[in-house]
Amino acid sequence: MAKTLTQSVQQDTSTALLNKSRIRRLSKGINITFVTVLTTAVLVIYLAPFLFMVFTSLKTPTQIAQLGSPIWPAKPATFDYKGATIDVYKVPISTCAGANPNDKSIKNLAAVKKGRQETTFVNPADVAAGEFTCKVSWRALDRPWSWAPQWANYSDVVKALDFPKLMWNTSYYAIMTEIGVLISCTLVAYGFARFRFPGRDFLFTLLISTIFLPAFVTLIPTYYVFQKIGWVGTWLPLIVPAFFANAYDVFLLRQFFMTLPRELDEAAMMDGASPFRILWSIIIPQSYPVLVAVTVFHIVFAWNDYFGPLIYLSTNRQAWPISVALPIFNGLYSTAPQLIQAGALMAMVLPLILFFVAQRFFIQGIVITGVDK
């Protein structure tokens, strides 16, 4: 008797435990759904402007001007009938000849002959039924919209902007400065990461402090001198400084170099390798992730740079990169939002492709600059 009691108690607790773990699993499932749905909702709102851009870039100017038109690219529906393109309207069926007067439905019908008192329609879905009249004025009717993206907007922008030239200029700027950044920052970062001498840490602090220096403090005399030696209007003021290292990329590379084991360096040094040789044959082959990160960062930076090209290149139309051309294009076409959005979209395609290809390196690089010491 006592034995069976303990047994049944044990059984009860085990079913209770089972229920508890089931509840826990269920509540975890609810939590996962809730958090994931919430984050997705935030993401959709955050990225919705992309959809706005795509939709607007494919609209006709008439649709943009018309209040109450759909948010997706569309035009009023038409129907090809007996060799002519005729307009489609939303017609209350009850007004039509031979229809049930109590029928509340609305059909999309094509107007063959428009009239104030009655209009002759044909049903695009059932042409064989022939023409029939309805007692409505065509002016009082709304029109349905049909999906009609205007791909020609993009070719219009390509022509108006001289797009291939802009792409070439922007790429030229990105590649030339990229070469400078990669060479100079790698050398400097190697110097900071692998050599010990008095004052090194002071210099490194100085390098990082330059991040806080307002740009205009150095810009005014630099611009003045560049102007006097005739560099304004050429690429030189943008490309030459890239060969003298910058704080962000040096920091990123130095942090990575510091994580590489010194044993290989020392072994090579014993064998009489020069510091250059060690950098080239030992450090660089181990550093592809960070070199890719710096490369991609810099390309995106150069692609997006507006102010540098604006002050040095705005007098030289032939050298404009996309960031300088886009505002001028927008000034000229301010009444054509569809072209502005198409231009904006075309300007961001290449950086976005690059980002998706190299996003792993990208994200690692940002984490190093923000979180490392």
Q: Which residues ranging from 177 to 206 are in contact with other proteins (CB under 8 A)? A: 183-184, 187-188, 190-192, 194-206
d(CA 343, CA 337): 10
Q: Looking at beta carbons only, is 125 or 357 nearer to other proteins?
A: 357
Sole residue written with tokens 């084991």: 261
Exactly one of 26, 97, 152, 215 binds other proteins (CB under 8 A); that residue is 215
- What's the burial of 172, exposed, middle or buried (CB within 10 Å: 0-12/13-18/19+)? middle
Q: Looking at beta carbons only, is 286 or 330 nearer to other proteins?
A: 330
Distance of CA 264 to the CA centre of its chain: 42
Q: Does residue 289 belong to the site contacting other proteins (CB under 8 A)? A: no
Exactly one of 9, 306, 332, 335 binds other proteins (CB under 8 A); that residue is 306
SS3 state of residue 291: helix
Contact code string over 74-103 relative to other proteins, x by CB under 8 A:
------------------------------
Exactly one of 275, 284, 286, 291 binds other proteins (CB under 8 A); that residue is 275
Q: Does residue 227 belong to the site contacting other proteins (CB under 8 A)? A: yes
Backbone angles phi, psi at 113, to 5 degrees: -135, 115
Collect all residues with Cβ–Cβ distance below 8 Å to 283 and sequence separation of at least 6.
190, 194, 257, 260, 265
Q: Does residue 317 belong to the site contacting other proteins (CB under 8 A)? A: no
User: How many chain residues bind other proteins (CB under 8 A)?
Assistant: 103
Minimum CB separation of residue 358 from other proteins in Å reads: 10
Strand ranges (DSSP E) for the chain?
74-76, 78-81, 84-92, 106-113, 119-122, 132-134, 145-147
Q: Which of residues 120-179 bind other proteins (CB under 8 A)?
A: none
d(CA 167, CA 139): 48
Piece of the chain touching other proteins by CB under 8 A; list 14-22, 122-130, 280-288, 353-361:
353-361
Exactly one of 11, 16, 17, 34 binds other proteins (CB under 8 A); that residue is 34
Q: Does residue 363 belong to the site contacting other proteins (CB under 8 A)? A: yes
Minimum CB separation of residue 137 from other proteins in Å reads: 28
Q: Looking at beta carbons only, is 111 or 325 nearer to other proteins?
A: 325
Exactly one of 73, 312, 345, 361 binds other proteins (CB under 8 A); that residue is 345
Integer angstrom CA distances of residue 47 from 33, 40, 152, 208: 21, 10, 25, 34
Exactly one of 105, 155, 210, 335 binds other proteins (CB under 8 A); that residue is 210
Q: Are 164 and 320 in contact (CB under 8 A)?
A: no
Closest CA to 134 of 102, 158, 112, 165: 112
